Amino acid sequence: MSKVSLEGQVAVVTGAARGVGELLARKLSARGAKVALVGLEADALKQVSERLHSESDHWYADVTDHEAMARVAEEVKQRFGKVDIVVANAGVASGGPFVDSDPVAWRRVIEVNLIGSAVTARAFLPVLMESRGYLLQIASLAAITPAPMMTAYCASKSGVEAYAHSLRAEVGYKGVRVGVGYLSWTDTDMVRGADQDEVMRELRQRLPWPSNKTYPLGPAVDRIVAGIERRSSHVYAQWWLRGMQGIRGYLPGIIGAVGQREMRRFEPRLASVRTGLVGAGGAADEQERNPAAP
Catalytic-labelled residue, pool 153, 182, 215, 236 = 153
- Is 153 catalytic? The answer is yes
Q: Which residues contact 74 (CB under 8 A, 6 or more apart)?
A: none
Measured CA angle at 193 (ends 108, 154), to 5 deg: 45
The 3-class secondary structure across the chain, one letter per residue, is CCCCCCCCCEEEEECCCCHHHHHHHHHHHHCCCEEEEEECCHHHHHHHHHHCCCCEEEEECCCCCHHHHHHHHHHHHHHHCCCCEEEECCCCCECCCHHHCCHHHHHHHHHHHHHHHHHHHHHHHHHHHHHCCEEEEECCHHHHCCCCCCHHHHHHHHHHHHHHHHHHHHHHHHCCEEEEEECCCECCHHHHHHHCCHHHHHHHHCCCCCCCCCECHHHHHHHHHHHHHHCCCEEECCCCHHHHHHHHHHHHHHHHHHHHHHHHHHHHHHHHCCCCECHHHHHHHHHHHCCCCC
Beta bridge partners, 85, equal 11, 134
Q: Which residues contact 134 (CB under 8 A, 6 or more apart)?
A: 84, 85, 86, 128, 176, 177, 178, 179, 228, 231
Q: Give the residue numbers marked as catalytic.
A: 153
